[in-house]
Amino acid sequence: MLVTQSKSVQIQNSIFQNNTCLNGGALSLIQCSNTLKIQNSKFQYNEAFASGGAIYFENVDAQIQMDSLVQINKNQALIGGGIRLLNNKLNLLQSLNFNYKNLIFDNSAQLYGKNVGTFLQNATIGVIQDISAQTSDMNQSDQQKIDYKIIKNEEMNKSDQQKFQQILQIFKFQSGGTINLSIQLIDAEGTYLKIEVQKYYSQQYPDPIMDELRQIQFKIQSYTQNQDLFINGHNIITSSDFYDQNNQFIFTQIQISSMPNQTASLQIIPYYIPANINVLPIYIEIHMRICYPGEVVRQLENNIYSCYPCPLGSYSITDPTKDQLWSEKISKTETNTLNTQPQVYQSECKKCPDSAIICQKSTIILKKGYWRNNSTSTDIVECPILFNACDEQDQTSKNGCLSGYMGPICKMCDLGGQLWKGQRFSQSHLGQSKCQLCSDIKYLVFTIILAILLLLFYFIFSMQIFYNSFVNSCICYYLRKINLISISSNSIKDKSSVYMKILVNYVKISSTLVTFQFSFLPDLLLSFSDYLGDPISKISVNISCLISSDYIRQFSQAKKLKLFGIQRQNNLQKCITLYYFGYYYQEFKEKFYYWEFIRIYLRVIIIVAFTLTSQSQFISYQIVIFLLFFYIKFTLYFNPIRNNNLQRFDLFCNKMIILNSLLSIINIDIKSGIISGIIYSLHFIVIFMTILIIIFFKLNNPFTFVGRFFNKFLYKILPRSIYNKYIKIYSSNWQVLTRWKRLQKNLSLIVSLQAIEKVTQQKCQPNSNQVNIDLDPLIKTKSDIIKTKLSNINKQSSKRSTLYELSKFKDLTPGIIKLEREQSETPFQKYLELIDIPKKDRIGQNLEEMILQQGVNSDELNFKSEIFSNYGQKKIVDEVYDARFNRKKNYDSFQQFQSSSGIN
């Protein structure tokens, strides 16, 4: 039923049921005035397709009256399930002026106004901290939580209640930052506006409803016109910006910029009702903060600056408030002239370093294998592959270190439980520099006792070997001193200890270099070389778990060596010196007794330099190659080791380290597993090869129990012909000693013979004096006698007959020289003085020739100085060149003397 422009309407004792219409399912009253009375009537199960499920009032200027017998229920519509009151004029009724809750009830509306629908006059505001659009954008998801406060109308003072519906206060807001605001419309009954977005977009709502929804609009703007404020983004929203999930309108990504560290004022004005109806705005008060690290200051307009956050792929850790721009334009304070640090005019975002996986604002997330002191530091260090405990991406890590690790580059184990509270970690005795949780006390005690027993066995066994070697060296030294046996390389009874020293030196250097390579090998195999290099520290690592964390302190350890080189350098072969210090110099020549300390300090310098420059592995390996190259050059020049085989092996080990360093340089960038495998293979090949050499010396030494047992074993299993060849080696070595002994005993006669032959050679010269001819028979006689005696001596088989024959002719040389002097005149005496080469030079020249002709072992040349010392000679055979030069000089002087004296 439709009633229009009526001055009086009265409905009594009526029932309106199951009626439908566009507006007002049962009754529609338009532009009626005066009075509207409804008495004892029921409006049930009616439906309006638009507004007013039971009754629709439009621009009604009348007093609406209903008695207590009226029932309006079970009706439905889009707006106003029971009654819709739509008055577009401000002076008209905007709400029912009576209590209708007991009369109008249990109705339904799809949009708003469940029982009674009027205009939506109330709005509430909210701040959205996280929306679905933000989760896909790292810039927004990383945005700090906004601190805000909403003041409702009843909480305001009286002056503000008349101005604003609500007041939104936002604190510490970033100038240039974005914010998401939500608006919800509420009807008089407290229910929110609900719009089905799909129906709105497809225009499935009736035209009157669509017209009303299109009128809904909100705008955010500056509160005052002269305010320095910049609003960027979609600052006007309509029903198209409605989200039906939460029944709210959303201002998405509104960017607000002003002067940092000041307050900005905004307001949201609603446009969802006719203009002649007053609706209060929402006031927004934003307190701008200062710019934080990770942000840079950018000027947008005059007196408008934004704190621009460094985007993805860049970072900034400097404080922008320390910039000169901030001081001059924003804080407007004078620059502190007492500040000695350089002041940047304006900070800029820096590119993300290669060692980081992601950068944004002041956040730098490092790749696995890199470490820094704290989250604000840009001093990034690459962690060694050996530890592999640096991982900031791991959720369980602390200070960038995995569980159990701590300190710079996560290289320390948290022994005291300082970082990992309640847990203590020690260095693993199986892995390479791995940290493991301190295990059960009983197990630790058992392993420590077992380790101590093994060390004691090793120490006792080593001391026994050293003592035997020491006794053998002393005996050989005094046998040489009494001229009984000339023993050289055999003075070192067991060379395996020397090879072990070379192996330890190699392992300490090579293990440090190899540990920086990626390895697929198990930790137990990799730790094998560590046990060789430093067995005590590897075995005793778990002892620290038994010590209370309250007593753990870090002490610097320094190795101390006694200074004996300068004080005892002239007594190196004495038994007491050999006993205390023979381990350090026994295999070296006497003048290079200090060479072991050169190797020790070289090893220390290499390890320290490699560790300090480990951030740049290319430089580290270059330093190692440089140092070892010069060590090899000096070793080849000085030849400090007595035994040539030992020296060659020492050089071989150092060359292998250089080769591995070169391969490591190649593998720095390409990180090839094949090259890493080659490096590890070479490393372990040298180790196992040295071990095999040591085992060979142990088995091949007939003076030890193991050697004798091995000799008997070979005697039983090998054919007699092969075994005899094996035994022949020792007999040949004994023949060499016998020849050296014979050479030493015949040395005086050999010197005399060489002197005579030198004189007789002068007769072949064209300018020789007649005196030489007269002297020839005597010289020839003496020479024949010496040769005959030498031949006889060499044919003697027994030592006693040899000594007896030598004693008869030991004084022939003085007789020959005396005879020469008696037969010569004054000029000829000068001639003999000039032509007589010093004995030490003649000995050196002719002895060298004799040794080369006999094919004597080069190792025995080391004892020529001791042989010459029995005759008062000090110069070694290495000075042959100087001796020949002196002979040439003497001969030239003699030629000049002949010319001046006229001798023909």
Read out DSSP for 668-693?
A: HHH--HHHHHHHHHHHHHHHHHHHHH
pLDDT band per the 50, 70, 90 thresholds, residue 738: low
**Residue 203 counted as domain residue:** yes
Kindly state the average pLDDT of the residues 824-838.
40
Of 117, 151, 167, the residue at which a domain comes to its end is 117
**Residue 726 counted as domain residue:** no
Tell which wins on pLDDT, 718 or 316: 316
Rounded to 5 degrees, φ, ψ at 448 are -70, -45
Q: Are residues 560 and 707 in the same domain?
A: yes
Kindly state the average pLDDT of the residues 516-530.
52
Of 114-128, 484-498, 559-573, the range with the highest mean pLDDT is: 114-128
Checking if the pLDDT of 380 tops 50, the result is: yes
* Average pLDDT over all residues of the chain: 74
Q: Rounded CA gap, 508 and 532, in Å? A: 8
Taking only Cα atoms into account, the Rg of the chain, rounded to an integer number of angstroms, comes to 54
DSSP bridge pairs for 37: 10, 65
Minimum mean pLDDT range among 44-58, 701-715, 849-863:
849-863
Of 68, 97, 117, the residue at which a domain comes to its end is 117
pLDDT, residue 72, reads: 94
**Residue 237 has which token pair?**
């929203």
Q: Are residues 362 and 461 in the same domain?
A: no
Q: How many domains does the chain have?
A: 5
pLDDT, residue 494, reads: 65
Q: Rounded CA gap, 820 and 777, in Å? A: 12
Checking if the pLDDT of 248 tops 60, the result is: yes
Q: Are residues 610 and 687 in the same domain?
A: yes
Q: Are residues 110 and 198 in the same domain?
A: no
pLDDT, residue 507, reads: 85
Q: Are residues 163 and 278 in the same domain?
A: yes
**Residue 519 counted as domain residue:** yes
pLDDT band per the 50, 70, 90 thresholds, residue 17: very high
Q: Are residues 683 and 772 in the same domain?
A: no
Q: Rounded CA gap, 57 and 33, in Å? A: 11
CA-based torsion, 56, 62, 63, 68: positive or negative? negative
pLDDT, residue 220, reads: 94
Kindly state the average pLDDT of the residues 717-746.
64
Checking if the pLDDT of 525 tops 80, the result is: no
Continuous segment of H or E residues that includes residue 63: strand 61-66
**Residue 801 counted as domain residue:** yes
Of 310, 337, 366, the residue at which a domain comes to its end is 366
Residue 448, C-beta contacts closer than 8 angstroms, at least 6 positions apart:
540, 542, 543, 546
Tell which wins on pLDDT, 737 or 377: 377
Sheet of 33-39: strand order equals 8-12, 33-39, 61-66
Q: Are residues 691 and 741 in the same domain?
A: no
Minimum mean pLDDT range among 212-216, 278-282, 345-349, 798-802:
798-802
Q: Are residues 343 and 459 in the same domain?
A: no
- 510, 771 in Cβ contact below 8 A? no
For 789-823, what is each residue's pLDDT tens digit? Answer: 555 555 544 444 443 333 433 443 444 344 444 44
Q: Are residues 607 and 492 in the same domain?
A: yes
pLDDT, residue 77, reads: 96
pLDDT, residue 854, reads: 38
Q: Rounded CA gap, 371 and 819, in Å? A: 90
- 231, 255 in Cβ contact below 8 A? yes
- DSSP calls for 257-324: EB-TTSEEEEEEEE-SS-TTS----EEEEEEE-PPPTTEEEEEEETTEEEEEEP-TTEE--S-GGGSH
pLDDT, residue 34, reads: 83
The residue among 238, 235, 234, 219 whose CA lies nearest residue 281 is: 219
Tell which wins on pLDDT, 376 or 749: 376
Please give the residue range of the domain that contains residue 344. 293-366
For 445-492, what is each residue's pLDDT tens digit? Answer: 777 777 778 778 767 766 666 666 666 677 777 666 666 666 655 556
Q: Rounded CA gap, 780 and 42, in Å? A: 167
Residue 309, C-beta contacts closer than 8 angstroms, at least 6 positions apart:
139, 174, 294, 295, 360, 361
For 175-224, what is each residue's pLDDT tens digit? Answer: 999 999 999 999 888 889 999 999 999 999 999 999 989 989 999 999 98
State the pTM of this model.
0.55
The DSSP call for residue 165 is S
**Residue 298 counted as domain residue:** yes
**Residue 227 counted as domain residue:** yes
**Residue 440 counted as domain residue:** no
pLDDT band per the 50, 70, 90 thresholds, residue 765: low
For 143-159, what is each residue's pLDDT tens digit? Answer: 568 899 999 999 999 88
Q: Are residues 82 and 163 in the same domain?
A: no
Percent of the chain whose pLDDT exceeds 70: 62
Tell which wins on pLDDT, 439 or 338: 439
**Residue 600 counted as domain residue:** yes
- 98, 85 in Cβ contact below 8 A? no
pLDDT, residue 203, reads: 92
Checking if the pLDDT of 628 tops 60, the result is: yes
**Residue 536 has which token pair?**
């005590």
pLDDT, residue 768, reads: 46
Query: Token pair 């002076």 is at which residue?
Result: 91
Q: Are residues 109 and 155 in the same domain?
A: no
Checking if the pLDDT of 570 tops 80, the result is: no
Q: Quote the longest CA-to-CA distance of the chain.
A: 182
Q: Are residues 531 and 509 in the same domain?
A: yes
Checking if the pLDDT of 94 tops 50, the result is: yes
- 367, 357 in Cβ contact below 8 A? yes
